[in-house]
Amino acid sequence: MAELEGSTRPAGGRIVCALVPLFSLAARLRAEPELRDEAVAVLAGRGDKARVVAATRRARKAGVRPGFTLSQARARLPRLVARPRDAECERAAQEALLDVAESFSPRIEDAGDGVIYLDAEGLERLFAGSGQDEGGDPDLALGRALAHEAERRAGVPVWVGVAASKLAARVAAEGGGVEVVPSGQEAEYLANLPLDRLSPEAGTLTTLERWGVHLLGDFARLPAAEVVSRLGPAGEQLHAIARGEDPTPLVPRTPPPTFREGMEIDWPLVSLEPFLFVARAALDRLVQRMECCGLGCRRLELSMELEPDGHHERSITLPAPTRDVKTLLKLVHLDLEAHPPGAPVVSFALTAHPDRPRGAQLSLFGPEALSPDKLATTLARLFSLLGEDRVGSPRTEDSHLPESVRLVPFQPPPPPKTRCEAPKGKGLLGLRVLRPALPVEVMTDSLAPAPADANPSSSDVGHRVAYEGARRPCEERPVSVTTQVTGKSSKKPRIHGVVQVASGPWVLEESWWDGDAVERDYWDLELSGGGLYRAYRERHSGDWYVDGIYD
């Protein structure tokens, strides 16, 4: 790749090493940020064999050192906060650091335990302008930008080293802060390091010490041919590294298809509220990582380890990808209320299966489009309140019944390119459908004699209650309508009045071919109170219902 004109960065490949100091402590403080200003020590092991592996600056000032037992550490600092190493927190912190690195370079290597490598080839074009404040060095600008983003987005401190080889970059990062090794000067930079920094074989190290060689610079000055003849291929590789030529290639990492956050809990959680408190923090970190990649959560999995040896897993599918923490937490809350784990929780993990949020094409002249993020959040909240089977867009089925509908996933149509004027209609009616249909009592006229077994409940001339039995539609015309009394607190509409105009009947027959026949007579009724309703009578039972109000 050609060198950028006007840049002080020399040509050649560049490797960036990002290193998290005291990684086990940084990962734990990322999960519990309220402990950042406290005296905290992280221990590995159990019982009397537990030893301090890392401690905060406040604890180190009090004399707490790696290798101390918990008793020795608290003898120096009685109010020391002790936390065990948490593999889940460390794994999540490593993945968060990798997510940040992927926003800088497409080729990164996961070296484990808070160490990653980036291929910075070509990135000088992005940081050449911002490197003016650093003396025009784009490598230094890249390192500072990476350290800043890791602290802001991943929640861990990072030391950064930039060099032409992985070894030189890591040595530079271990010095603290951001350090750049000029290209071509890797050998001079490594010259004063002891040989054991290369982790050579024990026999090779012993041989070199017998030769009086203790530093990498002394080893690099030895003739290459003599080193190969005496130490073989292993000596040849060590000699190349001492000269600043790292033969180890950068192995790109394949991004995982999911995001995962969790932690081990110091004390078993029995009730739901304390668990939701710690789960909220994990969801915050999870959503922040997905936001870095421009993704949203489409499916959320919850895995819990129970005391003593139990396991509980749940899966929540969302209607659309979302990054709303309150919605995700509410879904977890409702799901655990419906399916409690049944035992104390000692650790948990939240796994998000991501997907691209819905995009919306904006229009210059048309109406405003729906926000995909707000739409996804609204649908997820409706899922949590009503259930998955009650949210969607209704679609009519191939049936004559007005109530025959099915729910499909809600996909709003795109807005028109230009704003349309609302049509001015005169005399148009809208039908407000009642679901379920409202049962009513209907008085009908008598145009034909009743059967012998019919017992009318009213002796008024020309009026009686509709009786059971199938009759021809034209034989019964509604005369008055009254809703059935179901209680004073009922919110159902009250319908009462004498029929002024009755249009109908319109006959509906459905499923007569499969034994589950539906036969109805539909009427449009205008009552004396001014209301206009759609009503129907079930032929088989003779019951009347109002299923719509004309507005």
With a cut of 90, say whether residue 283 has pLDDT above it: yes
Confidence band, pLDDT 50/70/90 cuts, at residue 366? low
DSSP state of 258: S
Pick the range with the lowest mean pLDDT from 30-34, 120-124, 145-149, 193-197. Answer: 193-197
432 by Cβ neighbours in 10 Å (0-12 / 13-18 / 19+) ranks as: exposed
Three-state SS for 532?
Answer: strand
Q: What is the pLDDT of residues 8-46, one digit of tens each?
A: 334 457 899 999 999 999 999 998 989 989 999 999 988
Question: What's the rounded Cα separation, in Å, for the pair 391 and 384?
Answer: 10
**CB-CB contact of 222 with 207 (8 Å):** no
Three-state SS for 304?
Answer: strand
Predicted pLDDT of residue 117? 94
The CA-atom distances, in angstroms, between 384 and each of 68, 304, 317, 332, 387 are 49, 21, 11, 9, 6
**CB-CB contact of 527 with 535 (8 Å):** no
Q: Output the six-digit token pair for 518.
A: 């539906």
With a cut of 90, say whether residue 450 has pLDDT above it: no
Predicted pLDDT of residue 465? 37
For the chain, give the mean pLDDT: 81
**CB-CB contact of 171 with 189 (8 Å):** yes
318 vs 344 pLDDT, higher one: 344
Question: What's the rounded Cα separation, in Å, for the pair 32 and 44?
Answer: 18
Q: What is the pLDDT of residues 185-216, one digit of tens each?
A: 888 888 888 877 776 776 777 888 888 888 88
My answer on whether omega of the bond before 436 falls inside 30° of 0, hence cis, is yes
Predicted pLDDT of residue 361? 62
Q: Output the six-digit token pair for 218.
A: 């002394």
Q: What is the pLDDT of residues 429-447, one digit of tens each?
A: 788 888 889 999 999 886 4
Question: What's the rounded Cα separation, in Å, for the pair 198 and 240?
Answer: 11
Q: What is the pLDDT of residues 453-509, one digit of tens each?
A: 444 443 333 333 333 334 444 467 899 999 876 655 567 788 989 999 999 899 988
Q: What is the pLDDT of residues 43-88, one digit of tens each?
A: 998 877 889 999 999 999 999 999 999 999 999 999 999 999 999 8
- The β-bridge partners of 345 are 269, 306
Percent of the chain with pLDDT over 90: 32
pTM for this prediction? 0.63
With a cut of 90, say whether residue 133 has pLDDT above it: no
Q: What is the pLDDT of residues 502-531, one digit of tens each?
A: 998 999 888 777 777 889 999 999 999 888
Structural domains of the chain in order of their starting residue, each with its CATH number:
15-180 (3.40.1170.60), 199-242 (no CATH), 260-419 (3.30.1490.100), 431-550 (no CATH)
Q: Which of 331, 313, 310 is nearest to 322 (CA)?
A: 331
**CB-CB contact of 17 with 169 (8 Å):** yes
Predicted pLDDT of residue 298? 87
Question: What's the rounded Cα separation, in Å, for the pair 340 and 294?
Answer: 33
427 vs 88 pLDDT, higher one: 88
Question: What's the rounded Cα separation, in Å, for the pair 385 and 491?
Answer: 21
